[in-house]
Structure 1
Amino acid sequence: MSKLKILVKLTLIYFAVLNPSTAMTFDRDYLYNFIENYVESNISIPAEGKIKIEVSPIDPRISLQPCLLPLLANIPEKHNSRNVNVKVLCPDEASWQLFIPVKIQTIVPILVTRMRVAKGTLLDNSNIEVIFKDNSQIRGSVLTDPAIVTGARTKRNLSQGSAITDRNTCFVCKGQPVNIIARSVNFEIKSFGIALKDGSLGELIPIKNKESGRIVQGQVNAINQVVINL
């Protein structure tokens, strides 16, 4: 520790002894807000997601002592992402510390059905909506953008509140007309075909070209559209 830091620290302690009122005092509400703000600033939040923070009550038998210096906080490197013990430290000479359990709930936007939807139904704003759900309750890859999903079809019956996923929807459905875009750096050719298999975004599926009768492999990149990169 540098001589300047030692001098500053001793000066603070000296004035605190002469005038104890210079020490900062804290009530429980202050500590709860302090911990919540610290966790919010130091926990990764998924894109477009939110977090809910629940600070456990401090044992009423604990007497909160004053502190000469601003409080510090720390989250252990190894911790359950849903539950952490936040360490609150008073760094003055009469140092004290508390470990406060905090529950963290990460909620993210997902697309779900507004109602019961039958197999083969076209999806749009009338039967899908965005809700926020606990990330720990989500299984697999879910879809979040209504604009991208509008026009896709359901591959099975879905109950109200079902998450819209790659597995239960097809952006290109077997037997349906498909726009084919074959492109390279210098040109682009458009044609039409029939899908020989259901496909979700990014999936490679076989398409039968209507004009030539040839079967080609195209990557689904939009509703009823595939791309062939030459």
Structure 2
Amino acid sequence: MSLFKKNLYFFILIQIAALAMTSLKAKVYSKLELQQIAIDYVADNRQPNPNRHPNSQLSITALPLDTRIKTRTCQRELQVSAANPINTNRQSTIKIKCLDQNNWQVFVHVKQLELIEVITAAKGISKGQRITAQHLTSKQVAKHLTRSNQFKSSTNLVGSRSKRNVRAGQTINYNYICTICKGDKITILASFKGMTIKTQGEALEDGRIGDNISIRNVKSKKKIQARVLNTELVKVTI
């Protein structure tokens, strides 16, 4: 074998070995892995939201990739960047790029949602029925879909009475219930100069805990305003 052929043969072997080593170093990325890379990037680079609800949870999800996108291989470290600013409750487009000889890039759409727990009916509640803990459950809803008049806690719901029929799964709003309802017999707690007096009364309108409602003193027949404390008690400050 001539020297030229030997050198050529040796050169080919080196190239084959180099290609084999390069192939071994290449990493294969599935569609799910690409989505997770985009999610992690958003989680690490998102801007803090000063208006975030204290009891909310943040959900970060990637939208499905184009069905034409298959697994991708890259011999270098992937470059990840945001195509637009990353904001809460917004959809961000994340670009994942490979700069090897294949030179490919994938765009992943990532959505952020601030989730808030709201109270819903675990089963049907009839109009006039007293609400128990067994009637209630909760679910997480995107903040932008919630309303200010929805119960976020069951604390002040148990013991209240439903003012309408509520179907299972329905979100419970403030105007669906009354802690004290019109016509209820109640106890009036009156405070005056450190003294406390109790007397009987009747509710002249519906109210929830913390509301001021009109009531009538059964003995004096006098109408007064009182603050609802629970299902049986109101307070008057003289």
1:53 maps onto 2:61 in alignment? yes
- Shift in Å, 1:151: 0.7
Residue matched to 1:154: 162
- The answer for the alignment partner of 2:194 in structure 1 is 187
| Contact 1:172–1:195, Cα closer than 8 Å, also in 2 | yes
Q: After alignment, is 63-72 or 170-179 more displaced? A: 63-72
TM-score normalized with structure 1 length: 0.65
Unaligned runs of 5+ in 1: 1-19
Runs of 5+ unmatched residues, structure 2: 1-21
Deviations 1:102-154 (A, max 9, x none): 2345443222223332211000023x222314335545521133342111001
CA offset digits 1:37-59 (Å, max 9, x no partner): 34446375641545262333266
Report how many residues are paired. Answer: 206
- Residue 27 of structure 1 corresponds to 29
In terms of mean alpha carbon deviation, does 24-33 or 191-200 score higher?
24-33
Alpha carbons 1:166, 1:201 under 8 Å: kept: no
Q: Is the 8 A contact 1:173 1:197 kept in 2?
A: yes
Tell me which amino acid in the other structure corresponds to 1:76: P
1:66–1:196 Cα change, 3 Å: farther
Post-superposition offset of 1:163: 1.9
- Who wins on radius of gyration, i.e. which is larger? 2
2:133 corresponds to which of 125, 132, 157: 125
Equivalent-residue separation in structure 1 for 2:38 and 2:194 (angstroms): 58
- In the aligned structure 1, how far is the partner of 2:127 from the partner of 2:146? 22
> Cα 1:66–1:115, aligned 2, differ >3 Å: closer, same or farther?
same
Contact 2:38 2:94 in 1 (8 A): no
Tell me what 2:14 maps to. Answer: none
For 2:62 and 2:109, locate their aligned partners in 1 and report how far apart those are by CA, in whole Å. Answer: 9
CA distance in 1, matches of 2:220, 2:83: 66
- After superposition, the C-alpha distances for 1:177-211 in whole angstroms (9 at most, x for unaligned) are 23434458x73635342111001233221122334
Call closer, same or farther: CA 1:25–1:201 in 2, change over 3 Å.
farther
- The 2-side partners of 1:182 and 1:39 are apart by 56
Alignment of 1:76-155 (within 5 A): 76=85, 81=89, 83-88=90-95, 99-126=107-134, 128-135=135-142, 137-155=145-163
C-alpha change, 1:148 and 1:75, in structure 2 (3 Å) is: farther
Task: State the distance in 2 between where 1:61 and 1:161 align.
Answer: 40
In structure 2, do the counterparts of structure 1 residues 54 and 187 end up closer, same or farther at CA, with 3 Å as the change threshold? farther
Q: What TM-score comes out, normalization by structure 2 length? A: 0.63
Q: Which residue does 1:5 correspond to in 2? A: none
Native 8 Å contact 1:75 1:84 kept in 2: no
Which residue type is aligned with residue 103 of structure 1?
K
Distance in 1, matches of 2:170 and 2:160, equals 15
- Deviation of 1:84 (Å): 0.6
